[in-house]
Amino acid sequence: MANTILRHDWSRDEVRRLFDLPFNELLHQAHEVHRAQHDPNAVQVSTLLSIKTGGCPEDCAYCPQAARYDTGVTAQKLMEVEEVLERARAAKAAGASRFCMGAAWRGPKDRDISKVAAIVSAVKDLGLETCATLGLLGDGHAQALKNAGLDYYNHNIDSAPEFYGEIIHTREYQDRLVTLEQVRDAGLKTCCGGIVGMGETRDQRAGLLQALANLPAHPQSVPINQLVPVPGTPLANAEPLDPFEFVRTIAVARLLMPLSIVRLSAGRQQMDDAVQALCFYAGAGSIFYGEKLLTTGNPDVEADRALFRRLDLHPMEVSEPSGTVHAGILATAENGCGAGCGCSRAA
């Protein structure tokens, strides 16, 4: 497996055939790829903080931060540097190796970028990896964030291209691809995934993973989010996705993008420990750690530590200087950079 070929030409039919494999066979294949490229007992831990909450003008049907939905989320201004640093220090003390910052904007303005850059630089000085999810980027924004010390930029494609218009109407699918191109061109690592359980078909879940795997470069982090239905949003009454279908999605993502770190992201609070264990076996190698992902709940730190002990897992540091993966043991617990509210700005 050291000579794994990274493909960017997957057909929908090929991806669908992977989804259709017998469950045990799919997990076996995915685990073989996972352990060949990663330490199967190490999990990258990130913490996600909403540094600017609510008031977003977009209409993403899953997102409680959209101003047009009555979800009880109150719009707040961008946090001050020291306030963010206090949370970052606590995250590092709890064992997180990456600190992810999300802002509920359609896209930042130049003045916002300068403020976020100052925050990124200060967090980076703590010795943490940094990730930001701020929406659509303008000219020069990605480079400015890179210059400030940002390691990752999160921008999810959310769904299969043909299903995207069912969920979002205020920005085009192509807009997301343009931002991802800007991120790659600036030399930033990409954190890009999607959300399942929004009423899509299995074929459309295959389409989401096909689109991710066929990007010009596989994202270094691939958050797979399970919808967290929030009262007041259009998807508040969405039918829950079968948990084994979610595990299948993790496994197929692992097979399509063998070097990427697949993140078990939003929706973990609704999963029992056995389902999470299957996800780790199927190839998930990262989680968000902490009691909240942007505005929605997440298993608390002690619960995750207990789960790690039961599964003999340990946190890891991730270093991907040239597309390779290296795992190193941390001292304590876990958390990840992905999608908290399920929002496109959450990894």
Q: Which residues are catalytic?
A: 56, 60, 63, 100, 131, 191, 263
Strand, helix or coil for residue 296: strand
Of all helices (H) and strands (E), which one includes residue 131? Answer: strand 129-133
Please give the C-alpha separations between residue 306 and each of 95, 264, 313, in angstroms, as whole numbers.
14, 17, 10
For residue 118, give both structure tokens.
Answer: 């100052």
For residue 285, give both structure tokens.
Answer: 């190698």
Residues near 294 by beta carbon (within 8 Å), at least 6 away in sequence: 48, 50, 53, 65, 102, 340, 341, 343, 345, 346
Nearest Cα to 274, choosing from 250, 310, 241? 310
Dihedral (CA of 177, 58, 297, 332) sign: positive
DSSP summary character for residue 71? S
Nearest Cα to 107, choosing from 132, 131, 138? 138
Nearest Cα to 265, choosing from 228, 211, 238? 228
Q: Are 263 and 222 in contact (CB under 8 A)?
A: yes
Q: Taking the CB of residue 115, how many other CB atoms lie within 10 A of it?
A: 18
Q: Are 144 and 113 in contact (CB under 8 A)?
A: yes
